[in-house]
Every structure is written in C-alpha cells, then in structure tokens.
Amino acid sequence: MDESPAGSLGARLRLGARLFVLSAVALTAVGAIGRGIDWILLTTTIGPTAYILLAHPRSEAAQIRNSVLGHTCGAACGLACLAAFGLWDHPSTVGQHSDTWRQIGAQALAVGLTLFLLVLLNAHHPPAVATTLLITSGIARPGPPLYGMLTGLAVVIAAAAVLSRLPAGRP
C-alpha cells in the first residue's frame, strides 16, 4: 500500500476509499460485538489505533506487538497511578468539569511512565497514551468501561491485522 500522501489524485482517492471501507468494517465489528455483550467498545483510542494499523501497516507503530504492548502498558500505568493517587473511586474529570491536582499528577505520571515503558520495551504505539489518559481521567473506570475499552482495542487490532493484509489491487 502506498503510505505516502504524494501521488496522483486517483491513487489518493483509491487509498482513501480503501481506508474508508476497511475502517468502517473494523469499527462496525467492534460496535456490533459491544452491542451483543452490552458494553461500549468504541472508545477514543480505537480511532487512532485503527488509523495506524490500516493506513500505515508497515510502520513500527502498526506492529501487532507494539499495539498490544503499548495499550497494555498504558492500561497498567493508568491503573497504577489511579491507585497510587487514591483515585480509584474518584469522579471522572468529565463529571467534575475540571481536573483536581491529584488527577493532574496521576495523569502526568502515568503518561511519563507509559512513554518510559514504550521506549524501554521498544514498543512504540502513540495511541496507547490515550488509553493511559482515559483511565487516569476516570473516563474508562475499572470495571465494564475499562473492560469494554480493552476488549474493543483487542478486536480492532485483530480486525485491522487481517484487513490491512487484504490485497489492495493495482498500485
């Protein structure tokens, strides 16, 4: 797949149409599974993850290992900082309409730890930091919201791994 934005208008239209169809299929599958189990699986981390996996499948960030390790590190760091800052049952930043200093500290530390681990493990996947922030902001709470987000990520990673390898037709 041509990963460069350069090229003829026709090539960009074909690539754009392909990404439109593949992302629609992947996210519809995630949403349908979520609806079937009565969980919300479509979260903000899925869009950027789907984009990287489908639009740039040969990039370092699109490696399945990096996607899985990245989101795992993001979730672990987010949960650890929720616990460390005593925020496990604290209202989300959305519900409060602002961040407390403890939430700001947890978010900053969790993002820093996530970046540290991604570099240490050589598992670069930028959308993983969104997972970290969703957890430390209290939006993806421990329990069904968090399980739903992680399940949705697993489904979109698996779907994108398959869909990105479909033949693209003529270059």
Q: Please write the tens of the pLDDT for every residue from 55-65.
A: 898 899 989 99
Confidence of residue 120 (pLDDT cuts 50, 70, 90): very high
133-157 burial by CB neighbour count: b if 16+ within 10 A, else e?
Answer: bbbbbbbbbbeebbebbbbbbbbbb
* Domain ranges within the chain, ordered by starting residue: 9-163
For residues 171 and 135, the model is more confident at 135
CB 150 within 8 A of CB 130: no
Q: How far apart are CA 24 and CA 1, in angstroms?
A: 18
Amino acid identity for residue 106 in this structure: A
| pTM of the shown model | 0.84
10-27 burial by CB neighbour count: b if 16+ within 10 A, else e?
Answer: eeeebbeebbeebbebbb
